[in-house]
Amino acid sequence: MGAPPQSPHDSSPPEGGSETDLRRKDAEALLRYSGVRSAHTYEASWYHNATFVFPLLAVIIAGIVWLATGTGEAGGAAIFFLVVTAAMLPVVFITWQRQTTAVIVHEDGVTALHSGLEQLTIAWHELRSVRRVETMGNVRWYLDGQGEEHIVVEGEIAEREQLLEAVRYALEGRNSGPSP
């Protein structure tokens, strides 16, 4: 990896992408961490959630059919999907609040952020494993710390392989020390 910024206030972008690729609050949060090596943003947003998007699309389609044909069935479907969309909004917002919006690799460890707020930092000496978990075709990576602590790296994290390589390198470097 390239050299990290000279100080936590260095304005040069981290190696994992420019600060402009990050959400504004996540980019501002970089200043709190010394030796930022890379920053990886979550490229999706709350409204990309399928439990919200599919019913919303159904409302639009059924609404257009209703307006074009005037049939009661299309109107009923549009109203039904509108209710489903409204019912799913709180679920989507609650799950979004737990979603990592950026992962920062820095000299002290790896940190998950949500809109600039620190969710969890795993120090390098606390990192236990990097494991791949596949659930119904969706692949996630877990950076395991002490106890139950872990950072989830979703498929939508920018430059995910570069992030995982940096974490594995730190883990292997720590585990390949001199044998007793």
Contact 30, 9 (CB under 8 A): no
- Higher local confidence (pLDDT), 148 or 48: 148
- Higher local confidence (pLDDT), 138 or 10: 138
What average pLDDT does the segment 35-61 reach?
A: 80
* Run of H or E residues at 38: strand 38-41
Distance between CA atoms of residues 65 and 113, nearest Å: 43
DSSP count for the chain of H helices, then E strands: 4, 7
Q: Which pLDDT score is estimated for 83?
A: 93
Q: Which pLDDT score is estimated for 9?
A: 35
Distance between CA atoms of residues 78 and 69, nearest Å: 13
What average pLDDT does the segment 24-30 reach?
A: 84
**pTM assigned to the model:** 0.63
Q: Which among 8-22, 76-90, 135-149, 151-165 has the top mean pLDDT?
A: 76-90
What is the residue-averaged pLDDT of the chain?
79
Q: Which pLDDT score is estimated for 96?
A: 67
Q: Which residues contact 159 (CB under 8 A, 6 or more apart)?
A: 16, 17, 38, 40
Which of 141, 147, 145 lies closest to 165, judged by CA? 141
**How does residue 66 score in pLDDT terms, banded at 50, 70 and 90?**
very high
Distance between CA atoms of residues 28 and 9, nearest Å: 10
Distance between CA atoms of residues 60 and 130, nearest Å: 42
Q: Which residues contact 128 (CB under 8 A, 6 or more apart)?
A: 144, 145, 146
**What are the DSSP calls for 103-172, one per residue?**
EEEETTEEEEEETTEEEEEEEGGG--EEEEEEETTEEEEEEE-STT-EEEE-TTBTTHHHHHHHHHHHHH
